[in-house]
Each structure stands twice: as structure tokens, then as C-alpha cells.
Amino acid sequence: MKDQIQTKRERSLEEDNQSFFWIKSEGQEKLATENMVPGNQVYKEKLIIKRNVEYRLWDPFRSKLAASIMNELDYFPFENKTKVLYLGASTGTTVSHISDIIGPNGIIFAVEHASRVARDFLDRVASFRSNIMPILQDARKPKEYFSVFGKVDVVYVDIAQPDQTKIAIENCEMFLKKGGYLFLVIKTRSIDVTKDPKRIVTEEIEKLKTKFEVLQSIDLHPYDKDHAMVIAKYRN
Ligand code: SAM
């Protein structure tokens, strides 16, 4: 039925945005992406078939990008063919949904430094998806990502390190196109447990301002405690 799959039509998310969907499940509208690899689950998420298309529910308690959408994200530069550099791929929960969204003609360069986690990511996610290029590297050494080619549209950073804003800026300087977007997850407790979380977010945002226009900062509560998502545009 037509009313069961809808794009969210609100705020500045474009009316015809088909990057993600709202699907009725267990009496609630839930976020989902169209499964690029039908039948394949990544984190035991529910698969739902509607009108012969398979969707994967996208859990905001497991993905900070989904949590940002739930908390009124205004900018969504992920679409068919988008090129993404993703730092902190972990076992690939969020990477897999971005992979669904950008489709076979997009690419996501997924950096992860922990070899055991990266092995799991390879076995369960990257090996099934042609648009993921896994990179087993330290995000502090962007010069060593030999497989990244050209500039990307979006740099997504979720590495929970005290110096992550500096790392994010260095990666953007090397790989983000002018006018491209940075999505930076700030885990305040990994920066300083003793400081007020709001002050930490403000201080991290200040570090971005010389090179970026900061567009939005989203508190990820109740999905993630003491986390914010900052969205910024790389100056032309
Ligand atoms: N973004 C993931 C998701 O939404 O599914 C969760 C990321 S988890 C919070 C942080 C990840 O960053 C961990 O897997 C960790 O090993 C990785 N990481 C931390 N420091 C890193 C570094 N310097 N270079 C690359 N990866 C790093």
C-alpha cells in the first residue's frame, strides 16, 4: 500500500528524497534503507519486503546517522553515486546503510584500524558489497590510504578519539572536495570526562570554523548519551 512506504517530508530534507524510507512495522513508522544485497542481514536488523522490494530497518540505537535523522537532521548529502570517506567503520552497521543508499555506482572508503574488528567487517559486510573499499589503516595517517582515488563528497568521522577533530580536518584537507560535507560524531566523554559536554561540543565546533561553515549540531539523546553529530560544509 502506498501509505506504508514514505519518504519523510519535513524541514529541509528534499521532498523527493528517496535515500531512506519510513516503513510501518509493529504499528510504528520506522526508518529503513533498500537492501542492496537482498536476503543479507548485517546486525540482525529486520528485513521487510514491500511491493517486491526488500528493505532493512535502520536502528537509531545502533547507528548515529539514523539517530541524527530521528533528531531532525537538516542535511542529507548521501544519495545515488555519492563518494564517501568513512573513518571508524567498526563492524559496518552504519557503513552498510550508506552502502544501500549510494548504490552500486557510489563508493565508500571505509577506514578501520583495529584488525579483529576489520576482519569481522570484511567477512560480514564488505565482501558482499561492491561499493565498499575497506582500508585497514590508522585515520591519523591519511597519506597511507593508497586505495582512495579522487575527492569525496562526504567525510564521515566516528572514531571516538580525543584528537578526532584534528584527524577529521586533516582527512578533509586531503580528500574532501570543496563544498563537500563533514559529518563529525563527537563523543564528549572520550575528549574530557570532567568538562561539561555542551562546552566540549562548542570547543570542537570552534576548531572547525576556519575551514568549514558549521551547519548543524545535533544532540543524539536518547539514542546515544553524551554524543553530538556536527554537520559542516568545506569552504569553497
Ligand atoms: N561508525 C560505527 C558505526 O556507526 O557502525 C561505529 C564506530 S565505533 C564508535 C569507533 C571505531 O573507530 C572503532 O571500531 C575503532 O576501532 C575505530 N577507530 C578508533 N580510532 C581509530 C583510528 N585512529 N583509525 C581508524 N579507526 C579508528
Task: Indicate whether residue 157 lines ligand 1 (CB < 6 A).
Answer: no
CA 92–ligand 1 middle distance (angstroms) = 10
Q: Which CATH superfamily is domain 67-234 in?
A: Vaccinia Virus protein VP39 (3.40.50.150)
Rounded to the nearest angstrom, the distance between the alpha carbon of 24 and the centre of ligand 1 is 32
CA-CA distances (angstroms) from residue 90 to 71, 87, 93, 147?
Answer: 23, 9, 8, 19
Which among 107, 211, 95, 183 is positioned nearest to 150, based on CA atoms? 107
For residues 102-108, give the mean pLDDT.
Answer: 97
- The pLDDT tens digits for 15-69 are 445 799 999 999 999 999 999 999 999 999 999 999 999 999 999 999 999 999 9
Q: Which of 91, 120, 158, 171 to mutate to test the pocket of ligand 1 (most atoms within 8 A of CB)?
A: 158
Residue 9 in this model has a pLDDT that exceeds 50: no
Cell representation of residue 50: 514491500
Predicted pLDDT of residue 23: 93
Q: What is the pLDDT of residues 157-212, one digit of tens each?
A: 999 999 999 999 999 999 999 999 999 999 887 887 877 888 889 999 999 999 99
Residue nearest to atom 3 of ligand 1 (CA): 94
pLDDT at res. 195: 76
Question: What is the rounded CA–CA span in Å between residue 172 and residue 39?
Answer: 35
Contacts for 20-25 with beta carbons within 8 Å, 24 or more apart? Answer: 20/58, 20/69, 20/76, 20/97, 20/101, 21/55, 23/48, 23/50, 23/55, 23/57, 25/57
pLDDT, position 192: 79
Give the closest residue (by CA) to ligand 1 atom 11. 88
Closest C-alpha residue for ligand 1 atom 6: 90
Kindly give the distance from the C-alpha atom of residue 87 to the centroid of ligand 1, in angstroms, as a whole number.
7
**Which segments of 51-175 are extended strands (E)?**
53-57, 83-87, 107-112, 132-136, 152-157
| Residue pLDDT, tens place only, 110-153 | 999 999 999 999 999 999 999 999 999 999 999 999 889 999 99
Res 210: pLDDT: 95
Q: Is 117 in the pocket of ligand 1 (CB under 6 A)?
A: yes
**Mean pLDDT, range 68-85, rounded to an integer:** 96
pTM of structure: 0.93
- Say how far apart CA 34 and CA 39 lie, in whole Å: 11
CB 108 within 8 A of CB 99: yes
Cβ of 114 below 6 Å from ligand 1:
yes
Q: Where in the chain is the domain with CATH 3.30.200.20?
A: 2-59
Q: Report the percent of the chain where pLDDT is more than 70.
A: 93
Ligand 1 pocket, mutate which of 56, 85, 97, 112 (most atoms under 8 A from CB) = 112
pLDDT score of 196: 80
Q: How confident is the model at residue 13 (pLDDT cuts 50, 70, 90)?
A: very low
- The kind and range of the H/E element at 167 are helix 164-175
193 Cβ partners below 8 Å, 6+ apart? none
CA atoms of 180 and 187, how far apart (whole Å): 23
Question: What's the CATH architecture for 2-59?
Answer: 2-Layer Sandwich (3.30)
Q: Cα–Cα distance between 86 and 108 in angstroms, integer?
A: 7
Tell me how far the alpha carbon of residue 176 lies from the centroid of ligand 1, in angstroms: 19
Expressed in angstroms and rounded, the spacing between residue 88 Cα and the centre of ligand 1 is: 3
> Are the CB atoms for 133 and 107 separated by under 8 Å?
yes
Integer Cα distance of 15 and 55 in angstroms: 20
Where does CATH 3.40.50.150 sit in the chain?
67-234
Cα of 139 vs centre of ligand 1, distance in Å, is 9
Specify the pLDDT at position 222.
97
